[in-house]
Structure 1
Amino acid sequence: MFKIREIAMTRRFTRILTAVAATSTLTLAASGANAETWRYAFEEAIDEVQGVFAQKFKEEVEANSDHTVQLFPYGTLGESADTMEQAQAGILQFVDQSPGFTGSLIPEAQVFFVPYLLPQDTETLGEFFRTSKAINEMFPELYAEQGLELLTMFPEGEVCMTTQEPVSSPEDLNEVKFRVMTNPLLVESYKSFGATPTPLPWGEVYGALQTGIIQGQENPMFFIESTKMYEVTEVITCAGHNNFTTAVMANKDFYDGLSEDDQQVIQNATEVAFDHIIDYQKGLHDESIEKITAAKPDMQVNVLSEEERQPFVDAGEQVEATFLEMTGDGGQRILDQLKADLDAVTD
């Protein structure tokens, strides 16, 4: 039923494929001859930022075409590695995945984990992602090499750390087992910060914090609140070191095979969903803090001063050098263009 490239299929992958195929068959049977059902997976719950983006995308596609978009929130089709494999195979038409999980696939995408590269202001970030030459012209070529059509990237909010003890300097992270995504540069970042980075799939993080296997993790504030990470940690520290970035992609063979009208429907839906998600996030960080402190009044929420951040900034300079060692001239071109794009929206 699906044209599947040569990939190693695990039992879980086979079950996922069977479930998706069965659901799609039923949906297509009820559709018109020219209508299609497009499958879209993302890394968060339906009511979290990626899910809000996906719902707006779905709404726009269905309002302006005969097609249906079927949404698969996190966990429905496995972990992030599973959904990326399915998107590349053409089983999924769309996938939303952070460069944190595609760093080994597209090394240059790790640039978003260079500490203190991105600003934290939502409006400035929105303008940067909307106009960046690196994002809108250079990255699509890199994603295309992996069989993916990059539709957009967007920010999800300032990343903050949750730990068992207060953090006001890199020394406070010494020997702290800190969960990171399976991303080589993020591992290097937390090494430079003094921690012991521990890559783990997201589904294992809550239990690992609860049992003491790890003592810390990082995420945007809305995600810390919605996943209740505050229940198994005692302190939230915002050091301003990063803003979570994610990328929405289509399977390239699927996208290239569409009519110009359908491609335009997708582009328009992407633009509308992008504007919607930037607006949706205004005030979300502070609202999430209020919810956390209401649920757990003794939770410490600390925002580091410029003086306290400086040692982290200094450590981040080595991470930038490591990024360039990993990616060579291609990484240098991406980094230089990103900095020029940032200058254009912050001057």
Structure 2
Amino acid sequence: MKFFNQKYLGGIAMAAVFAAGMSTAKADTWKYAFEEAITDVQGVFATKFKEELEKNTDHEVQLYPYGTLGESADIMEQAQAGILQFVDQSPGFTGSLIPEAQVFFVPYLLPSDTKELNSFFRNSKAINENFKDLYAQQNLELLTMFPEGEVVMTTKEEVRSPSDLDEVKFRVMTNPLLVESYKAFGATPTPLPWGEVYGGLQTNIIQGQENPLFFVDSTKMYEVTDVITYAGHNNFTTAVMANKEFYDGLSDEDKKAIQAATDAAFEYILDYQKGLSEQAIENIKKAKPDMKVVVLSEEERAPFKAAAATVEEKFIEMTGDSGKAILEQMKADLKAAMK
């Protein structure tokens, strides 16, 4: 009887060790890379996502800000290959991979009103259905898209009309439609990786670039340019994705936890951005009092808006029926958001 008890107790102990091992095996470490610093908008979103996921699961999320794993093209390749489980990247960089994603760079398409913009990103059928299918074809599970703030131009000379951009080498992301946009605006578009932009402006290889104000502030682009121009032409959009094979292999419980963390981070980042641009311009003016800020009037914006029509035509030409369908759906979604 004593022998039986020892065997029985030993069996329980072994089962407990095995169960503990199984529990540990289920808790994974997931890698998440993004295109900005940890204190920038994408970094704040990622931090909230990590916090929510780790609070509600046994998994750990490791965050990799810009530069730690290479340039934007590098982290996208790593995400598609499954080296990274999550990636945050603007459609500006995925445009060559998913041509239809370039629709976010059709000038004057997105509303400037924050409530309308947020409503569009929350409820858009184009984002939540059409784009999910397109990203899936590239082994990417689209979790969400969100706005990061109004895009401004920073240049060395004042910009009041397209003629002021004549012969200006303007840095753009490696995005065919963004190239077409700045051609239409009168500039000489110059695709460059982000890591080369500050030096390019400093040495006058380029004379302008565009980004949301918080990014102009955090990356100190104002140090190598002299004028900030609000043309009202766009709001910077970014997309959070998971490697699709990884995502499809997860339990329903983990998928729900990831979506819940995504939803929580989405609402958090929209709230976080209130007043962010105003704070950024205050910081810039404090650091560089002679920085000129130009807000184009509706009359001054008119020729830029006229140029946008040709960019829209180029988008349809580049993407065919698929792009046209996306554009039409987005316009329907935007109309709904404006009601």
Instruction: Specify the TM-score bucket, using the shorter chain as the normaliser.
Output: over 0.9
Q: SS of the counterpart of 1:244? A: strand
Question: What amino acid is aligned across from residue 184 of structure 1 in structure 2?
Answer: P
Q: Deviations over 1:85-124 (max 9, x none)?
A: 0000000000000000000100000000000000122222
Q: Deviations over 1:113-145 (max 9, x none)?
A: 000000122222111100000000100000000
Q: Deviations over 1:276-330 (max 9, x none)?
A: 0000011111111111001100000111011000000000100000000000100
Aligned match of 1:250 = 242
Aligned to 2:274, which of 242, 263, 282? 282
Q: Is the 8 A contact 1:122 1:278 kept in 2?
A: no
Aligned to 1:221, which of 202, 205, 213? 213
Q: Is the 8 A contact 1:324 1:331 kept in 2?
A: yes
Aligned match of 2:189 = 197
Partners of 2:95 and 2:26 lie apart in 1 by: 37
Aligned match of 2:113 = 121
Aligned match of 1:60 = 52
Aligned to 2:292, which of 293, 300, 311? 300
Q: SS of the counterpart of 1:236? A: strand
Residue 309 (1) aligns with residue 298 (2): no
Q: Which ranges of structure 2 fall in alignment gaps of 5 or more residues?
A: 1-20
Residue 146 (1) aligns with residue 162 (2): no
Aligned match of 1:166 = 158
Q: SS of the counterpart of 1:275? A: helix
Question: What amino acid is aligned across from residue 318 of structure 2 in structure 1?
Answer: M
Q: Is the 8 A contact 1:41 1:92 kept in 2?
A: yes
Question: What amino acid is aligned across from residue 127 of structure 2 in structure 1?
Answer: I
Rg larger for: 2
Partners of 1:209 and 1:121 lie apart in 2 by: 31
Displacement of 1:70 after TM fit? 0.3
Aligned to 1:111, which of 103, 107, 121? 103
Q: Which ranges of structure 1 fall in alignment gaps of 5 or more residues?
A: 1-28
Residue 328 (1) aligns with residue 307 (2): no
Displacement of 1:345 after TM fit? 1.1
Q: Could you state the TM-score of these two structures normalised by the residue count of structure 1?
A: 0.91
Q: Deviations over 1:244-288 (max 9, x none)?
A: 000000000000000000000000000000000000011111111
Partners of 2:82 and 2:200 lie apart in 1 by: 34
Residue 41 (1) aligns with residue 33 (2): yes
Aligned match of 1:96 = 88
Q: SS of the counterpart of 2:190? A: strand
Residue 260 (1) aligns with residue 269 (2): no
Residue 133 (1) aligns with residue 153 (2): no
Percent of residue pairs identical: 75
Residue 180 (1) aligns with residue 179 (2): no
Question: What amino acid is aligned across from residue 223 of structure 2 in structure 1?
Answer: E
Q: Is the 8 A contact 1:123 1:278 kept in 2?
A: no
Q: Deviations over 1:223-248 (max 9, x none)?
A: 00000000000000010001000000
Please give the root-mean-square deviation of Cα atoms over the aligned residues, in Å: 1.0
Partners of 1:346 and 1:122 lie apart in 2 by: 10
Give the length in aligned residue pairs: 318
Aligned match of 1:4 = none
Aligned match of 1:16 = none
Question: What amino acid is aligned across from residue 114 of structure 2 in structure 1?
Answer: T
Partners of 1:258 and 1:337 lie apart in 2 by: 31
Q: SS of the counterpart of 2:24? A: coil
